[in-house]
Amino acid sequence: MGTNIPTSTLRSTDRTIPLLGYGTAEYPFGASIETMKESILHAIELGYRHFDSASLYQSEVPLGEAISDALRLGLIKSRDELFITSKLWCSDGHKDLVLPANLQLEYLDLYLIHWPVSSKPGEYVLPVKEKDLLPMDFQSVWEAMEECQKLGLAKSIGVSNFSCKKLENLLATAKIPPAVNQVEISPLWQQKQIREFCEEKGIHVTAYSPLGAKGMLWGTNNVMECQVLKEIAAARGKSVSVLVKSFNKERIKQNLDIFDWKLSQEDLKRISQIPQQRAYVAAEFVSEKGPYKSVEEVWDGEI
């Protein structure tokens, strides 16, 4: 079933990434490890092949266990059938901590810098304590990420939550350009500027929280309550997600049923006219003594 999900080619490595992924973040992080393992295994059985993880989510261990079970049960023949993404947390955002970070698997298909900020080593928490926030040395951390790819620990490397300006600065010294920038994108925050910039630079954009991430620390139900989307959904009898995060088995199945239809030009026009507002402003990374003194600095004005 996994082959029914379309893929895109990452231009920096020529590797393919499934366009629909299964997100493993559930807040509070680490609260439902056994449920998470069961849900991931069920998703593999249904046909999901792209799984999005992170050190912060505490989902790397249950993901690895679910993959082992899937191999044992014959749901997949090889680890190579899956595309696994994980992310470097802020506390490991230091050159000497990138390589030893908790990858859990023999290799990752994609390894991302989770946020463009470092913190005091040792804790995997959100929000990060204000006193622990530190500026990230992008050049040295990216050099360590490049080493991960050279060693085969990650087939591709990239970033998450990077603005155009931060990407530009990274590209100025990078020997291996980021393959992906994972950012918040939804009908209510369409991110035209960053999408156009990444397209120009050959960077694949992955969307997180496409439905608003209700239930998460920063979640909102505004996307699901949007009248324009309700009207389009009622007419189509469908719902769409790009990066799925659902531990309900029936919704996991429903989220796969999105590739046998498409929106009309009129639908797309209506969606493009929806008022825009970022759901997650990342105020947790703002501190008078930290690297970012305002949310405008976090996003370089892209809010």
Q: Which residue has the higher pLDDT, 221 or 190?
A: 190
Please give the CATH superfamily to which domain 2-299 belongs.
NADP-dependent oxidoreductase domain (3.20.20.100)
Above 80 in pLDDT, residue 7? yes
CA 270 from centroid of its chain's CA atoms: 26
| Global confidence as pTM | 0.89
pLDDT category, 53, cuts 50, 70, 90?
very high
Catalytic annotation, residues: 57
Q: Which residue has the higher pLDDT, 210 or 84?
A: 84
Per-residue pLDDT averaged across 44-65, rounded?
90
pLDDT at 84: 96
Q: Read off φ and ψ for residue 231, nearest 5 degrees.
A: -65, -45
Q: Which residue has the higher pLDDT, 246 or 207?
A: 207
Per-residue pLDDT averaged across 204-224, rounded?
74
Per-residue pLDDT averaged across 197-203, rounded?
96
Kindly report, residue by residue over 271-296, the tens digit of the pLDDT: 999 999 888 889 999 999 999 999 99
pLDDT at 297: 97
pLDDT at 80: 94
Q: Given the structure tokens 């304590």, which residue do they identify?
A: 129
Q: For residues 85 and 78, what is the distance between their CA atoms, to the nearest angstrom?
A: 17
Contact 295, 224 (CB under 8 A): no
pLDDT at 219: 60
Q: Residues with Cβ < 8 Å from 109, sequence gap 6 or more?
A: 15, 17, 82, 83, 84, 85, 154, 155, 156
Question: What's the per-residue H, E or C state across 45-113?
Answer: HHCCCEEECCCCCCCHHHHHHHHHHHHHHCCCCCHHHCEEEEEECHHHCCHHHHCCCCCCCCCECEEEE
Cα angle, residue 204 at apex, residues 232 and 151 outer, rounded to 5°: 145
Q: What is the mean pLDDT of the chain?
A: 87
